[in-house]
A and B are shown apart, each in its own frame.
Chain A
Amino acid sequence: MPRQAPQGTQAVQRALALLRSFTPEAPEHRLSELAAAHGLHPSTAHRLLGVLEAEGLIGRSPESQAYRWLPGAPGTGVAGSSPRHNGLRPLEPLRTPFHRRTSALCESDAWRDWSGYTCAETYEPTPEREYWAVRNAAALIDVSPLFKYEIAGADAERLLDRVMTRDFSKCRTGRVMYTSWCTEDGHLLQDGNVQRLERERFLVSAAEPCLRWFEDCGWGMDVDVRDVSEEIGVLALQGPRARAIAEAATTGIDFGAMRYFDLAAGEIGAGGGGGPVTVTRTGYTGDLGYEFWVAAEHAEALWDALVEAGRDHGLLPAGLLALDMARAEAGLVLIDVDYVSAADAEIEVLKVTPAEAGLGFTVKLDKQADFVGRRALELERDRGPAWAMVGLEVDWFELERLWSEIDLRPQVVGQPACREPTPVFAPGGWQVGQCTTRFFSPLLKKYIGLATVRGEAADLGTELDVEVAVGYGRRRARARVVERPFFNPPRKTAVDPMAGVNG
């Protein structure tokens, strides 16, 4: 005889009772059977089972539509499950907190795995409109699969200053810092953003797991490192209309006062009430933009508020292909694509220093604190980096020349950024590096690439040859070392990015 439940918790009690009905011995039940066994009205049972199913605690038989036991789901008697590993069950893709919204819009059904999550590559069959939305209106991108770590405690700043190459004694509360972190021998592990939420509380976002690294580096410190990856959903709102939309979708934030890499807390919804949200003026597109950090339970409210506010501003949901095109134009490097983390580099030659990955500006050798990799990076400063990350540009006439050999116009446009590394040569000579991201920018009307080349080949204006596919053949195209970012609109950092925008 169950205890009488206090007011308001009856539904929880009923749901748990339903959940306990699913066991390896009795794995499958029909709705009518469960309703009868638990003395529930079928519609109540249906509602509760729907929640259990949506939460991934039970499944549904595709043939009979009966509800099914899921091996390893919490509450069903098999222990040892975690959100990233579901016990004995074959690993299923994780869903971001926005998945119900994104999946309803993903007409292309083109999903890609990102750290175990399913993310839309495109929403429409081709990424063009999503890409142009970033540059011409605004795009909404689900970047929740980022790993997120909350670092809190009296020694939080001390830990960050010990791990990171940037100087966190100079990171005020309400600011975000983009930084690198390295191994003891100065090799780059990752790059990422660090938000200073409070004096003693930071949020690190990273592409790969780093809980153990931070904990080990903080050994003996008064600091708590917590993986909050699954608890926080992240949306990037990027494009010239981002501010107008952000303002209409939130309350309590003075977007006019937000500078590039500022952080602010507010409420979701034009009149508030949608739940708390943290907004950073950051992004991975090189455009005006904001990132919204929200507790998973308020994620859908945030999505809805932004979509509603964006309706009149040409906002489109954008997938990872459009994001990748934009970040290439912004000249932003990507881990595992443009550089190999020292944590993954099986051989020495793959490892790079921050400077060699184009992130030298994140290394602050003048900072007070000692940090992991400092001595090695000081030596590198004296010696000079062996490699350099450069922007390469192949002009239109060179493309015309190459394709005219097979009597075609250049076949370069409409292709997403290519991540297959190809060699870079001294003109007509030996290999001096590799090009790791490249694509034809329809905005700049140039073929652009990010390449790691020998330090001596890195000066602006240096001519290099890159290998490009022309039909079935491979040809060397003459490229020039140019400044990164390839595209850098003033609105990205402008104090009043509304200037010149209607409304």
Chain B
Amino acid sequence: MTMEPAAADGIGSGTPSRGGGRFDAIVVGAGHNGLVAAAYLARAGLDVVVLESSPEIGGATRSEEAFPGFRFSVFSYLVSLLRPEVIHELDLVRHGLFLVPTASTLNPLPGGDCLFREADPQRTYRHIVRHSRRDAEALFEYKLEMRRMGHLMYRLQRAAPDELAAAIGDRVAESPEHLDVDVSAEVADIARYFLDLPAARLRTFAQMLTMSSADFLGQWFESDVLKAALSSSSIIGSMLSPRTPGSAYVLLHHYMGEVDGVYREWGFQKGGTGAVAATIARAARSHGAEIRTDSPVARVLARDGRTAGVVLANGDELRAGVVLSSAAPQISLGRLLDPEDVPGDAGAGLVERAARWQSGGCAGKVNLAISGLPRFECMPEPGPHLSGGITIAPGLDYVDRAYDEAKYGGFSERPFIDMIIPSVLDPDMAPPGKHVLSCFVQYAPYELAAGDWDDGKREAFGDSVVRTLAEYAPGIEDQILHRQVLVPPDIEAIAGIPGGNIFHGELRLSQLFLLRPDPAAAAFRTPLPGYYLCGSSTQFGGGISGGPARLAALRVLDDLRGVESAAGGGGETP
């Protein structure tokens, strides 16, 4: 199995230094967030090393040539949440960021019908009119409200949750003189913005935190196919049905992404998502960060109640006063951190809570190498619809049934499928005339009711995907040259995410904001001074975002400056 482009760039030579070493900061995990954190710290002049347990960088942001001439984005497949400040502060365009927009979404329906949404809203209106004239009109209002929600989230994402909570709390108490956390002018401004929102906006926000997406969408739409199409974003990566309360938040999570200031845009990275990781790694290395693969970390080293470095699985010790972990909390808090090292009783219950973190995977990935373009019954000829997203979610009942099967411990016989054809967006992904098809599939629970995920079940799951595709694109089963089927245990094994949950933990209110991933470690700091979290399990969660890592790195730098300025003791506030 050839992984790239990491190896091609000489990153992760596979020959890690066996010796120890002393650094200013150590980052655990070379997924996109770990790399972003390392890039920010190195850019600030710190001597940084990234330690990756697997032979390749990227985590769930990886490409591979699983079949000669065909490149798969193994897990994650589109980019939208990548923060513009990360792109521009790290100069990622210069380092290789190349996002081709996916302009449309096609929802094939039974009987050769479809729902097609294009970049041009007026054309989309005309497509939707075929299903419901009222809904076609309501879509304008809905999108406007969702853009406002996206903008609200854009503001919230610029602040660490504890600072924002403090600023909001003080605004609510109307006693700004009693600020017990020193917040910047920007955070105060965001808090003011949030509290000055019109009541209607706050209501929508509250709805999105609590409602099911089906109910939420039902406020605008009558058409089942449109509601099902729009609810796709509310279940991605989540063990939720569109009818499960809380799924509206997952919808919001997918509307807060943007490409160049346009909310809800998505882009395909040329070369596949592995090229995103390679791009960030290049940026990190350009600032002097070192990246070591095949270097699993066993635990965080502490001395006198402070972080002192890490111990590798092979026993080597690397010293640093700052350690950031981009791993999920089961690893970061449950495995790497010894609660005995935590001063006072701040570590009490931490390991137990980490073990109860909700992060069962629910999604599989089926990557296909195909001999020609699929011919969808609704639009058989090649056209712009093949360079957008294509989603099999023909109705709310359909998706709900797919969920039901997983709820009882099976995988969906007729699954929800969110696919793209990367080779249409980037001809370098497959040999001329051939194509790759990336299918993100739900539901495939981490644990099956009957037995384990073995090859037979994996292939049966793959078969259900191909069978479902063939209902909408007849003949596709004969075009398949190679099939890669990945289920949550594979995501766990390859990307190192416990449970295989793509967001490092469900995006639900009980696991968001100051509760993500733990009340004692909600603002990138852990109870052990000098040990930080910077991955998807922190504020704002998963997706190829880099946002959590950026805020974590900025917090580290703030804390280091605090240590410097507090001459003769004091240290940072945990």
Bind each other: yes
B177 within 8 A of A: no
Separation of A129 and B259 alpha carbons in the complex (Å): 16
Query: Residue A75 at the B interface, CB < 8 A?
Result: no
Q: A397-436: which have CB < 8 Å to B?
A: 397, 399-400, 403, 407-414
Distance of A312 Cα from B430 Cα, bound (Å): 10
Tell whether A178 is near chain B: CB-to-CB under 8 Å. Answer: no
Given the contacts A312-B433, A313-B432, A413 and B261 also touching, CB distance less than 8 Å: yes
Complex contacts, B60 vs chain A, CB 8 Å: none
Closest to A446 in B: B93
Given contacts A445-B88, A445-B97, 12 further A-B contacts (CB under 8 A): A125-B119, A129-B384, A129-B387, A312-B432, A312-B433, A399-B261, A409-B151, A410-B260, A413-B261, A440-B260, A443-B93, A503-B431
State A443–B96 Cα separation when bound (angstroms). Answer: 10
7 contacts between A and B (CB under 8 A): A132-B100, A397-B85, A403-B261, A407-B151, A409-B258, A411-B261, A443-B98
> What's the interface size class on A, roughly?
35 or more
What is the bound-complex CA distance between A440 and B69, given in angstroms? Answer: 34
B204 CB to closest chain A CB (Å) equals 17
Do A444 and B88 contact each other (CB < 8 Å), given the known contacts A128-B101, A410-B261? no
A294 CB to closest chain B CB, in angstroms?
Answer: 24
Given the complex of chains A and B, what is the CA–CA distance between A503 and B427 in angstroms?
Answer: 11
Q: How large is the interface on B (under 10, 10 to 19, 20 to 34, 35 or more residues)?
A: 35 or more
Could you tell me the distance between the alpha carbons of A396 and B552 in the complex, rounded to whole angstroms? 22
Q: How many Å from the CB of A398 to the closest CB on chain B?
A: 10
B282 within 8 A of A: no
Chain B nearest Cβ from A429, distance in angstroms: 27
Q: How far apart sit A413 and B263, CA to CA, in the bound complex (Å)? A: 11
User: Which B93-107 residues have a C-beta within 8 angstroms of A?
Assistant: 93, 97-101, 103
Question: Cβ of A442 and Cβ of B432 under 8 Å apart?
Answer: no
Residue A224 CB within 8 A of the other chain: no
- Tell whether, in the assembled complex, residue A136 and residue B270 are in contact, meaning their CB atoms are under 8 Å apart: yes
Instruction: Give residues of chain A (124-169) contacting chain B, Cβ–Cβ below 8 Å.
Output: 124-126, 128-129, 132, 136-137
- Scoring B93, B384, B432 by chain A CB atoms within 10 A of each residue's CB, the highest score goes to B432
Q: How far is the CA of A7 from the CA of B260 in the complex (A)?
A: 67
Q: In the bound complex, how far is the Cα of B261 from the Cα of A313, in angstroms?
A: 30
A227 interface hit (Cβ, 8 Å)? no
Query: Is A501 an interface residue when CB atoms closer than 8 A count as contact?
Result: yes
Contacting residues of chain A (375-400) with chain B, CB-CB under 8 angstroms: 395-397, 399-400
Residues in A with CB closer than 8 Å to B262 are 409, 413-414
In the assembled complex, A502 has its CB within 8 A of some CB on chain B:
yes
A residues in contact with B88, CB < 8 Å: 395-397, 445
- Measured between alpha carbons, how far is A129 from B258 in the docked complex, in Å? 18
Considering the complex of A and B, which 5 residue pairs feature the smallest CB-CB distances, nearest first? A312-B433, A409-B261, A312-B432, A413-B260, A314-B427
Tell me whether B69 and A413 are in contact (CB under 8 A). no
Distance in angstroms between the alpha carbons of A313 and B428 in the assembled complex: 9
Q: How many angstroms from the CA of A413 to the CA of B261 in the assembled complex?
A: 8
Q: Is A3 an interface residue (CB 8 A)?
A: no
A126 touches B433 (CB 8 A): no
Q: How many A-B residue pairs have CB under 8 A?
A: 84
- Within 8 Å of chain B (Cβ to Cβ): is A351? no
B571 within 8 A of A: no
Contacts of A409 in B (CB 8 A): 151, 154, 258, 261-263
| Per-residue contact bits, chain A 224-266, to B (CB 8 Å; 1 contact, 0 not) | 0000000000000000010010000000000000000000000
Q: Decide: B260 and A412 in contact? CB cutoff 8 A.
A: yes
As a 0/1 sequence over residues 430 to 465 of chain A, the CB contacts with chain B under 8 angstroms (1 = contact) are 000000000010111110000000000000000000
Please give the distance in Å from B166's CB to the nearest CB on chain A: 23
CA distance A503 to B69 in the complex (A): 9
B348 to chain A, nearest CB (A): 43
Q: Which residues of B contact A212 (CB under 8 A)?
A: none
In the complex, what residues of B have CB within 8 A of residue A442's CB? 99, 101, 259-260
CB contact between B119 and one of A126, A408, A445 (< 8 Å): that residue: A126
Q: Is B428 a contact of A502 with CB atoms below 8 Å? A: yes
CB distance from A128 to the nearest CB of B (A): 6
A323 to chain B, nearest CB (A): 18
Q: Which B residues, 400 to 435, have Cβ-Cβ distances below 8 Å to chain A?
A: 424-428, 430-433
- The complex places the Cα of A46 from the Cα of B353 at a distance, in Å, of 84
The verdict on B139 contacting chain A, using a C-beta distance below 8 Å, is no
Question: Is B120's CB within 8 Å of the partner chain A?
Answer: yes
> Which residues of A approach B to under 8 Å, CB–CB?
124-126, 128-129, 132, 136-137, 241, 244, 311-314, 395-397, 399-400, 403, 407-414, 440, 442-446, 501-503
Of residues 60 through 113 on chain B, the ones whose CB sits less than 8 Å from some CB of chain A are 69, 84-85, 87-88, 93, 97-101, 103
Whether A136 contacts B427 by the Cβ 8 Å rule is yes
- Is the CB–CB distance between B426 and A136 below 8 Å? yes
Q: When the two chains form their complex, are residues B93 and A502 in contact, meaning their CB atoms are under 8 A apart?
A: no
Residue B572 is within 8 A (CB to CB) of chain A in the complex:
no
Q: Are A313 and B427 in contact, with the CB atoms below 8 A?
A: yes
A residues near B260, Cβ cutoff 8 Å: 410, 412-413, 440, 442, 445
Q: Do B87 and A445 touch across chains, with their CB atoms under 8 A apart?
A: yes
- Taken residue by residue from 189 to 218, chain B's Cβ proximity to chain A (1 for < 8 Å, 0 otherwise) reads as 000000000000000000000000000000
Interface code B105-144, partner A: CB below 8 Å = 1, 0 otherwise?
0000000000000111001000000000000000000000
Min CB distance, B414 to chain A, in Å? 32
Known A129-B387, A132-B101, A136-B270; contact A502-B426, beta-carbon cutoff 8 A: no
CB distance from A225 to the nearest CB of B (A): 43
In the complex, which residues of chain B have a beta carbon less than 8 angstroms from the beta carbon of A314?
Answer: 424, 427
Min CB gap A439→B, angstroms: 12
Q: Are B427 and A241 in contact (CB under 8 A)?
A: yes
CB distance from B77 to the nearest CB of A (A): 17
Q: Is the CB of B261 within 8 A of A412?
A: yes
Cβ-defined partner of A125 (8 Å) among B69, B93, B123, B431: B123
A502–B71 alpha-carbon span in the complex (Å):
11
Neighbour of A502 across the interface among B101, B118, B261, B432, CB < 8 A: B432
CB-CB < 8 A to A501: which residues of B?
A: 428
| A399 CA / B151 CA spacing, docked (Å) | 16
Closest residue of chain B to A399, judged by CB? B261
Query: In the assembly, what is the distance between CA of A442 and CA of B98, in Å?
Result: 9
* CA gap between A395 and B100 in the complex, in Å: 20
Chain A residues with CB below 8 A from B431, complex form: 502-503
The docked-state distance in angstroms from the alpha carbon of A412 to that of B270 is 22
Task: Give the docked Cα–Cα distance between A312 and B259 (Å).
Answer: 28
Interface string of B267-299 (1 = CB under 8 A from A): 000100000000000000000000000000000
List the A residue with the shortest CB-CB distance to B122.
A125
Chain B residues in 8 Å Cβ range of A313: 427, 432
Which A residues are CB-close (under 8 A) to B426? 136
Cα A442 to Cα B151 in complex, Å, equals: 21
Q: A138's closest neighbor in chain B, by CB?
A: B427
Contact call B93/A445, Cβ cutoff below 8 A: yes
Residues in B neighbouring A395, C-beta threshold 8 A: 88
- Residues of B with C-beta under 8 A to A396: 84, 87-88
In the bound complex, do residue A502 and residue B69 qualify as a contact, i.e. CB atoms below 8 Å apart? Answer: yes
Which residue of A128, A313, A399 has the most chain B CB atoms within 10 A of its CB atom?
A128
Residue of A nearest to B101 (CB): A128
A318 to chain B, nearest CB (A): 13
Residues of chain A within 8 A (CB-CB) of B97 are: 445
Bound together, the chains give a CA A70 to CA B548 distance in angstroms of 71
Interface centre among B69, B99, B151, B260 (most CB of A within 10 A): B260
Contact of A126 among B87, B120, B428 (CB under 8 A): B120
Neighbouring A residues of B123 by C-beta, 8 Å: 125
* Residue numbers in B under 8 Å from A412 (CB-CB): 260-261
The answer to whether B119 and A503 have CB atoms under 8 Å apart is: no
Would B100 and A311 count as touching, CB distance under 8 A? no
Minimum CB–CB distance from B148 to chain A (whole Å) comes to 10
| Alpha-carbon distance A407/B382, docked complex (angstroms) | 40
Known: A396-B88, A440-B260, A445-B93. A128 touches B427 (CB 8 A): no
A314 to B270, CA, bound (A): 14
Bound: A314/B123 CA distance, A:
24
Cα-based distance from A8 to B123 in the complex (angstroms): 52
